[in-house]
């Protein structure tokens, strides 16, 4: 029930926040096994994805797209209001398996985020490196491979974490 807004930078209960927020956890991402981050957003049931080509995906929230929707990655703007009208497929360049959780703020977030957030805000939070809490370094990793015959999709993702007491790398 906790949500983190990239503007506030601290956790808040969903019932204390006026806009409707859809959260997707890392467990939901692994269960959905999305091909792209556009497919991840579509699995929420609140974001419509227009696919004009195979593997593409342009998000639409409440009829708004492109320069009326804001996409952030770890609180940093991924798109700007200077994008042209119509649909832009830039959401597919975010690796869904490198994301720890996603939040979609439905409705106008322009008061907090600016004029390019009239339709909504899609916040992606990437995985964070983990420190070692034992003597010496710790090492862990994840691997995902998938092949689909319907569209001849070949998806691969690998990440590893090296952690010490004072530094960590992912």
Q: Which SS3 state, helix, strand or coil, does residue 24 take?
A: strand
Confidence of residue 76 (pLDDT cuts 50, 70, 90): confident
Confidence of residue 164 (pLDDT cuts 50, 70, 90): very high
Residue 54 has pLDDT above 90, yes or no: no
Confidence of residue 111 (pLDDT cuts 50, 70, 90): confident
Burial of 141 (0-12, 13-18, 19+ CB in 10 A): exposed
Q: Report CA-CA distances (Å) from 3 to 37, 50, 72, 153.
A: 19, 27, 15, 33
Closest CA to 27 of 101, 92, 85, 91: 101
Confidence of residue 98 (pLDDT cuts 50, 70, 90): very high
Q: Mean pLDDT over residues 19-45, rounded?
A: 88
Question: What is residue 19's predicted lDDT score, i.e. its pLDDT?
Answer: 76
- Top pLDDT among 147 and 13 is at 147
Question: What is residue 81's predicted lDDT score, i.e. its pLDDT?
Answer: 62
Min mean pLDDT across 75-79, 102-106, 165-169 is at: 75-79
User: Cα–Cα distance between 22 and 151 in angstroms, integer?
Assistant: 29
Q: Where on the phi/psi map is residue 63: left (φ > 0), alpha (ψ -120 to 50), or beta? A: left
Structure tokens at 116: 């390019």
Residue 140 has pLDDT above 80, yes or no: yes
User: Cα–Cα distance between 38 and 132 in angstroms, integer?
Assistant: 34
Q: Mean pLDDT over residues 103-129, rounded?
A: 85
User: Cα–Cα distance between 41 and 57 in angstroms, integer?
Assistant: 10
Question: What is residue 6's predicted lDDT score, i.e. its pLDDT?
Answer: 58
User: Cα–Cα distance between 34 and 43 in angstroms, integer?
Assistant: 8
- Kindly give, in sequence order, each residue whose CB lies less than 8 Å from that of residue 132, ignoring residues fewer than 6 positions away: 138, 163, 164, 165, 168
User: Cα–Cα distance between 41 and 127 in angstroms, integer?
Assistant: 17
Residue 8 has pLDDT above 70, yes or no: no
CA dihedral (60, 47, 17, 127) positive or negative: negative
């Amino acid at each position: 029930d906790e949500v983190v807004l990239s503007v506030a930078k601290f956790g808040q209960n969903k019932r204390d926040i006026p806009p409707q927020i859809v959260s997707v956890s890392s467990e939901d991402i692994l269960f959905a096994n999305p091909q792209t981050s556009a497919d991840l957003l579509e699995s929420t049931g609140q974001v419509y994805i227009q696919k004009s080509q195979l593997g593409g995906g342009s998000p639409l929230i409440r009829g708004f797209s492109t320069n009326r929707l804001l996409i952030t990655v770890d609180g940093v703007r991924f798109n700007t209001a200077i994008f042209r009208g119509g649909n832009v497929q830039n959401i597919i360049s975010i690796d869904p398996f490198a994301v720890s959780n996603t939040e979609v703020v439905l409705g106008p977030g322009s008061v907090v985020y600016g004029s390019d957030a009239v339709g909504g805000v899609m916040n992606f939070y990437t995985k964070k490196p983990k420190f070692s809490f034992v003597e010496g370094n710790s090492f862990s990793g994840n691997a995902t491979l998938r092949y689909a015959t319907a569209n001849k999709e070949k998806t691969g993702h690998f990440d590893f974490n090296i952690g010490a007491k004072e530094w960590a790398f992912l």
